[in-house]
Each structure stands twice: as structure tokens, then as C-alpha cells.
Structure 1
Amino acid sequence: MSLLRVSGLSKSFGGLMAVDGVSFGVEAGQLVALIGPNGAGKSTCFNMVNGQLRPSSGSIVFDGHELVGRRPRDIWRLGVGRTFQIAATFNSMTVLENVQMALVSRERKLFGLWKAASSWFEEEAMALLDQVGMAADAHRACGVLAYGDVKRVELAIALANRPRLLLMDEPTAGMAPEERNDLMALTRRLVTERKIGVLFTEHSMDVVFAYADRMIVLARGRLIAEGSADAIRNNARVQEVYLGAGRTFEQRTLLADADSDGARQ
């Protein structure tokens, strides 16, 4: 059984069908990329899985639980974490405090604090920061960090709830090639170690082809292809709709891109 099973998912806004009968699954220990041209329905589909939008029809089952009709907070408590295209952290708080607040929320202590939040779960928060390579920056304010480091902190916050499924919305947006490679390599390691499933949206094809186990391709709200990197790269329909007739996806590594960028400087 899939960790996440989406079946016949549809969403209309007035007369516009943004998502039309989409079905797919995500397994534990697997990175699945949800890709497509602008207006394909990726964000709408993603937000329905997360509970921010209610489907017009269809089913979303996570670990045996139907998610349709549940609030994002309730979905989070079932074990679905999320990161955002624009990193969501508290800039005035330290790296450690950001993760501690996520842990406090997980234990539902936000409305019953009788001592400072900085004294809660410090050891567990430090362990999470160590996993994402940010332990040395634990006492720095998030507002002074490089953007790539902020994304690492956001990942630690998402992991604080011990998710079995992680939704990542444009995880490498705004990052340099080497930063993209570092973050996705870290995500791959965590997926392997924790046996969690990851569903991510991404515009950078080098990221997708370097790290996705499977790809789901949408166009005009419909699923037009699903499969491995090789299957998608050679799919004529995907080439026509996504990149234009006669063009193909190039298989490149992110580090090679970084080297090329450096050579041009």
C-alpha cells in the first residue's frame, strides 16, 4: 500500500478546472517530483494534499487516513510535514529557538507554558540541527543567516513533528547551484535514514533529474506522464507540452552546473 494515495483528484474554480482527475502514489523512502509548465495545476494539487484547499472531488489517503476535509493542522499532526517556497522562520529568534517552538507545538504546550520556551526540548532540537548541519549556528538569529542555511533550519522545523511524509514546495528556489545540491543531497540522506516519503514541486530540472525517484507530470490540470527519469526524459508528450517540440531534457549534475558557473566568472 502507498504511504500516500491520491485518487481522481479534481478542483474547479468557477468554470476553470485547475486539476482534473489526477491520481498518483508516494511510497515510504521515495522522492517524487510533481512537475509541469506554469498553470499545470501543481500548486493546486499540492495545496489539496496539505489541506489548504478542499478538492471538488476525489480522495487523498495518507497512511490509511482520508485527508479530504481535514484542516492543515490536523494533517500535520497525522505526520505530514511541509516546507515552503519562501522559507518560513522567525527571523528575530535564534536557530535553536525556531526548532524548539516546533517541538513545543508538537507536544501541544503552546497554551500551557509555565516556563520560558527556550528551556523546552533543547537536546532534541540540537539533535535535529545536527542532522541538517546547523548545530554550530544554533544561537545565531535566523535573520542573519544565508538563504541556504535558512532552508536547512526550515527542514529541521519540518522534521520536528517526526513526519512520515514531507511536502516540499520549490525547496531550492532562490538558491545557488551548490546550495541546491547540498540541500537535496541532505534530503535524500534523511529520506533514506528515516524511511519517509517526499513529494516536491520544482522548476529546476537539474534538481528533478538528479534526485527524484519518480516524476509526475501535469499539464492543464491533467496527469500526462508518470515514471522514472529515463521514462520522462524520453516521453514525446512531455517534451512537446513542457519543453517544446524537438527539445529533450538534458541529464546534468548540479555540481557540474556549479563548476560551469564558476568557470564563467
Structure 2
Amino acid sequence: MRIPPRVLTVAGSDSGGGAGIQADLKTMLALGTHGMSVVTAVTAQNSLGVQGAWELPAEAVRAQFRSIVDDIGVQAVKTGMLASPELVRTVARLLAGVDAPVVVDPVGVSKHGDRLLAAEALESVRERLLPTATVATPNLDEVAELTGVKVTDEDGMREAARAILAYGPRWALIKGGHLPGAPVDLLSDGREEHWFRGARHDNRHTHGTGCTLASAIAAHLAKGLDVPQAVGAAKAYVTGAIAAGFPLGAGIGPVDHAWQWG
């Protein structure tokens, strides 16, 4: 009997189903892996924004993680919303004992502009979480918060990658989707550069894009791809999901995680 690769997401719940744990698990299923979850926070969230957020105690996060890793095991881990310094430190300690690739999505603000990471947790992300990452996947706003580097063009993405890599991840994927023009991302380990370019789709329904990309990278790493291959395959999946994004509620709808299934 075939056992699919096992991927763990450590992140917050999105009650609207477009981002967070829900997006992660949908992505993992769509890409042929077995998704598992450690819930770090519960949000009241819909297409209009985040109406409330409640983080779980560190002990609850630790117990979920140990329950999964000690029995089932993992072949890749993805982290998302870690709201407080205590949760960041807790998860970083847990990840240090895992022999599997780790994708860190340093979630700071939701698609709607709602803050999901306390300002006082930034230092813990820099000093404790980023060093555990096989790949860190910040967008340009998160780069600015973590490093002070404000990117306005492609050359600035190189500076951003260097600044993120200085905190210890093996690879940095700088997501340039907020720049004008066609979207471009830069993957770098300080020696190699891989540029990923695509068309910009005329579709405002992009909720969950960052979570989906990070989870897709983790899924492909669990399947045995190297980092540049995993990022390339994940980008192709996310591009299709964005093109198929659909309206939901009165605001910004989600990407379509099942777009490949027609």
C-alpha cells in the first residue's frame, strides 16, 4: 500500500477556508501528499478581513507537534502564523529537532491588512525561526519589517535576499508580486540565483496566495525535489490557482486549490 509523503503545517486557522491551515491542507492534498496540522491560533475571518484572533497556549502547540512527529513522522514542515514571541520560540525549538526540510512563511499581515504577528515577535522570528528554515518565503512587506530593506525594483530583491539570508535560512525566496509589472520572484542561497517570472492575471481573488505557495514548496520537498525544483513546481501550481481564483463573500475571494482537477 502506497503511503504518501507526509507534510506538517504549523499555522493559524482561517475560518473562511482561503488561507492558513485550511489552504495548507488543500494544497498538500492537491499535490499528492498527506497533510497534518498543528494549530497555533484560531481566527474569525472571511472575505472582508480578520474579525478576531486567539492564539493557542504554547503547551497546546507543543503537544500537537510532538503527537504528530513522534508517531507519524514528517518529511517536510511549513510554518505560518505564529503570533507571539513565545509561540515563535516554542516552534523554533521544536523545529531544531526535526530532520526534515522546513519552509518558513514569516506571516506578518493578512491579505486584508490585518496584523497577524505582534511587533515584539519580530526579533524572535529573526533570531530563532529563520535559522531553522530550509527556505524562507517573505513578501516585500515582510522583508521590510524583518530587515529594513525596502524593495522598489528587481535589483533591490538581491539586497533583500542577502538581508534575509544573513539570519540563517539556507535559501530565501523573495516574493516580488507587489512590484509593478509582471510578477517576479527571486530564489537565492547567496551563491545561486533563480528568477521566476510569470504573467499577472486580472483577478483580484488572491486570498491565501502566500500560504499556498509555501505549502506547495513543502509538499514538493517532501516528494524529493531539491529547493529550486520545488520552488519552480510550486510556482506553477500557484499560478494556476491564482488564475482560477473565485469570488466568495463580499470581499477578496480565495485562489482555487483544486484547479488541476477541473
TM-score by length of 2: 0.33
Greater RCO (Cα-Cα under 8 Å, separation 6 or more):
1
TM-score by length of 1: 0.33
